[in-house]
Amino acid sequence: MNIFKVFENDIRKLLDELAAEGHIPAGLDTARLTVEPPREAAHGDLSTNAAMILAKPAGKPPRALAELLVAKLKTRPDVASAEIAGPGFVNLRLSADVWRDRIRDVLTAGTAYGESTLGAGRPVNVEYVSANPTGPLHAAHGRGAVFGDALAALLEKAGYAVTREYYINDAGAQVDVLGRSTFLRYREALGEAVGEIPAGLYPGEYLKEVGQALAERDGSKWVGADEADWLPACRDFAIARIMEWIEEDLGVLGVRMDVYSSERALVKAGAVDIALKALEDRGLIYVGVLEPPKGKKPDDWEPRPQTLFKSTGFGDDVDRPLKKSDGSFTYFSNDIAYHFDKHRRGFDAQIDVWGADHGGYVKRMQAATTAITEGKASLDVKLCQLVHLMKNGEPVKMSKRAGTFVTLRDVIEEVGKDVVRFIMLTRRNDQTLEFDFAKVVEQSKDNPVFYVQYAHARCRSVLRHAATAMAGADLSAAALAAKANLARLDTEEEMALAKRMATWPRLVESAAEAHEPHRVAFYLYDLASDFHALWNKGRDDASLRFLIDGDEEVTVARLALVSAVATVIASGLAVMGVEPVEEMRS
RNA sequence: GGCCCCAUAGCUCAGUUGGAUAGAGCAAUCGCCUUCUAAGCGAUAGGUCGCAGGUUCGAAUCCUGCUGGGGUCGCCA
């Protein structure tokens, strides 16, 4: 239950009542109405701008309107106080029981707490990773993988029907290069001395393994064969093998895709022709000559007629080529077909997660998606900025060119999947992220992974102690929910925790709508911080500890609180794909 | 040159889709602490939200124009 939404709906009803009573005109636009926690806790628990946004259309001063609302709100038993502040805010303080009851909600719902019906089961397609099948995933891919996966989980929690999808770019020139590189390694595996890997081929060591495997499967079958024969064989073999690795790596990271879409299969099935025909029918394709890029004219520039898509009609800056000069389709054409295909599979809400270097591609893809689906589908593109790998403040050198780069697997093996996942979400997607191998495993307050996990571990530790101290007592969440007298929770810190947990459903909804999973990480840090604060109070004042000898009632109430905190942390970590820990010892 | 992203405390970053006196961690200063789990706790100080306009009850947030940094720019994917 999202308490803020409950009040928002109730306030809308009150406004209807005011209209029925003739205080304000009926049918005022309340789209801008908000009910949210004020930044300043001193202002109360909830705050609404209703009086301010309606003042002008209602023809009444905001404070007068606020008076009317306050009078109505004050009659509610769950409202402890309602007052007007500033330019016309209505601030509410809720009775403590409203917050305490949320603890019971948590205990009853378990880690399902925070789930919402916001998405109403609408399908959403989240496409992420989609790394070229030409080599193992490297560290930077990890960010897109984690981001996309957490976003998918978040949307699921918010009630959407999510499909996780990986687009395999197995149709371009790069996979022919892969095929040639593999052929060389294959001959090498058969004993041929191949020497230096020629420029233009992939030098990576990992292809030795692919060549070896191919030699084992096919023997010397391809030596001396026509390129027309060995190239597709080597290419397809390598793609299949590398995709296995990629799936394995993703598995280690805890990422499981629902759908792998092959570009080659799509092209083969004629999807590109269908898509371009659709655009053609709408008069969005023409043959024309593009202007050279302003201010940065390539040396070999020459005007030439190309088949172009009229993307300028949909917010793009220039029209974009659909065919290369040899008549074959550009990657863009295939991509249009792919996004059209998603639409035809029922996805009108599409999200793509890309690396920041593809920023220049966003407008045309959105333009094309809008154009080809006649505005029915919307595409949101989330760009993930670079990850800077560091070790004790020193940058870790990466060179894809030389074939030496830090693979995602290396990173996971060094610090663990949970640390990778958590850290990748501690920055907004459009900020560059520094990943320091030393810092991310540090056991201190400035490491958010540790801090959040520590809070969970402390909760579990308290419950373990309680189980020993109160042998025989049923301390399950259900039992605590049933028997705890939550009225015994009344300290400032306890109420702060209860309120923080009450905002989790709201956070899920707003983060899901904004497509910003990093907010979950920050929320958990805040929740952990509230919990640690309460814990620390118990150091100075024994009466504030959780287990109080001789007062079972307060102990049970506090155990309910602690159990709820652990549950909400676990619920948040589940969205991030991180396993909560029972204790910090390792 | 066009387009996209970024610019918030000394540093690293949040900022609830336009709300009230802009927050957290680190570093700094000052106290405390040896534990229901050790990897500490509390307090203080720190700001022209890059600059200048605009929109309105109200702007870090939206619009315009600048400045600085990054990315990208017709037959790469």
- pLDDT at position A53 over 60: yes
A374: left (phi over 0), alpha (psi -120 to 50) or beta: left
User: Is the per-residue pLDDT at A245 higher than 60?
Assistant: yes
Measuring from the CA of residue A534 to each C1' atom, give the nucleotide at the shortest distance. B41
Give the C-alpha separation, A372 to A281, whole Å.
Answer: 10
Counts for chain A of helices (H) and strands (E), in that order: 20, 15
User: Residue A280: CB partners within 8 Å, gap ≥ 6?
Assistant: none
How distant is C1' of B30 from CA of A423, in Å?
A: 33
pLDDT at A403: 46
* Chain A 400-439 contacts with nucleic strand B (CB below 7 A): 427-428, 430-434
Cα–Cα distance for residue pair A206/A211, rounded to 1 Å: 9
The predicted pLDDT at position A301 comes to 77
Q: Is the Cβ–Cβ distance between A321 and A264 less than 8 Å?
A: no
pLDDT exceeds 60 at position A401:
no
Average pLDDT over residues A431-452: 87
Rounded to whole angstroms, the distance from the CA of residue A49 to the C1' of nucleotide B55 is 19
A89 touches strand B (CB under 7 A): yes
Contact between the CB of A296 and strand B at under 7 Å? yes
| Confidence label for A259 from pLDDT (cuts 50, 70 and 90) | very high
Sheet bearing A387-391, strands edge to edge: A394-395, A387-391, A433-436
Q: Which helix (H) or strand (E) holds A165?
A: strand A161-168
Taking the stretch 224-253 of protein chain A, residues with Cβ within 7 Å of any atom in nucleic acid chain B are none
Q: Name the DSSP letter for residue A42.
A: G
The reported pTM is: 0.95
Report the pLDDT value the prediction gives residue A532, as an integer from 0 to 100. Answer: 92
A538 touches strand B (CB under 7 A): yes
| Digit-coded pLDDT (tens) for A60-95 | 888 999 999 999 999 999 999 999 988 889 999 999
CA distance A553 to A14: 39
**Which nucleotide is nearest to A315 if distance is taken from CA to C1'?**
B3
Which of A239-243, A397-401, A460-464 is modeled with the greatest confidence? Answer: A239-243
| Sign of the torsion formed by the C-alpha atoms of A110, A114, A120 and A125 | negative
Q: Are A542 and A533 in contact (CB under 8 A)?
A: no
Comparing A22-31, A108-117, A349-358, which segment has the lowest mean pLDDT? A22-31
How far is A438 from A175, CA to CA, in rounded Å?
Answer: 37
Q: How far does the CA of A222 sit from the C1' of B10, in Å?
A: 64
Dist CA A581 CA A56 (whole Å): 53
pLDDT of residue A409: 93
Q: Give the model's pLDDT for residue A125.
A: 97
Q: What is the DSSP string of A299-360?
A: TT----EEEEE-GGGGT-SS-EE-B-TTSPBPHHHHHHHHHHHHHHTT-SEEEEEEEGGGGG
Give the Cα separation of A508 and A231 in Å (integer): 49
At residue A285, the 3 state secondary structure works out as strand
Q: Which position has the higher pLDDT, A144 or A472?
A: A144
Give the percent of chain A with pLDDT over 70: 97
The answer to whether the beta carbon of residue A453 comes closer than 7 angstroms to any atom of strand B is no
* Nucleotide B23, nearest residue via CA and C1': A39
**pLDDT band at residue A542, thresholds of 50, 70 and 90?**
confident
User: What average pLDDT does this structure show over A216-233?
Assistant: 95
Question: Which chain A residues in 330-389 sit with Cβ < 7 A of strand B?
Answer: 330-332, 356-363, 383, 385
Which pair of structure tokens corresponds to residue A112? 């399902």
Task: Tell me what the pLDDT averaged over chain A comes to.
Answer: 91
- Domains delineated in chain A: 3-94 (3.30.1360.70), 173-252 (no CATH), 269-383 (3.40.50.620), 448-576 (1.10.730.10)
Neighbours of A33 (CB within 10 A): 17
Q: What tens digit of pLDDT does each residue of A302-327 get?
A: 888 889 999 999 988 889 999 988 88
pLDDT band at A168 (very low <50, low <70, confident <90, very high): very high
E-strand ranges in A194-340 read 259-262, 285-289, 305-309, 320-321
Return the closest-CA partner of residue A562 out of A494, A482, A468: A494
Which residue's C-alpha is at the least distance from the C1' of B72?
A360
CA–C1' A199–B42 (A): 62
Nucleotide B35: nearest residue by CA–C1'?
A539
Buried b (16+ CB within 10 A) or exposed e, A146-179: bbbbbbbbbbbbbbbbbbbbbbbbbbeeebeebb
Q: Is the pLDDT of residue A195 over 80?
A: yes
Q: Which of residues 457-516 of A touch strand B (CB under 7 A)?
A: 457-458, 460-462, 465, 506, 510, 513-514, 516
Q: What is the pLDDT of residue A13?
A: 93
| Chain B bases closer than 7 A to any CB of the protein | 1-6, 12-17, 19-26, 33, 35-42, 57-58, 70-77
Cβ proximity of A548 and A474 under 8 Å: no
Nearest nucleic acid nucleotide to A582, CA to C1' distance: B37
Q: Give the HSE-up count for residue A8: Cα atoms under 13 Å, Cβ half-sphere.
A: 15
Q: How far is the CA of A277 from the C1' of B44 (A)?
A: 69
CA separation (Å) from A104 to A95, A115, A157, A310?
A: 15, 15, 20, 57
Confidence tier at A232 by pLDDT (50, 70, 90)? very high
Question: What nucleotide is nearest A88 when CA is compared to C1'?
Answer: B57
Mean pLDDT across the stretch A101-125?
A: 96
Tell me, in Å, how far CA of A531 is from C1' of B71?
41
Q: What's the CA gap between A158 and A516, in Å, rounded? A: 13
Tokens of A300: 């070999």
Q: Tell me what pLDDT residue A402 has.
A: 46
- Which residues are CB-contacts of A539 (< 8 A; sequence separation ≥ 6)? none
- The whole-number pLDDT of residue A180 equals 96
How many Cβ atoms sit within 10 Å of the Cβ of residue A84?
18
Q: According to the model, what pLDDT value does residue A586 have?
A: 58
- SS3 state of residue A582: coil
Res. A405: pLDDT tops 90: no
ipTM value, please give it.
0.94
For residue A531, what pLDDT is reported? 93
Least confident segment among A239-243, A339-343, A469-473 = A469-473
Residue with tokens 């990173």: A411
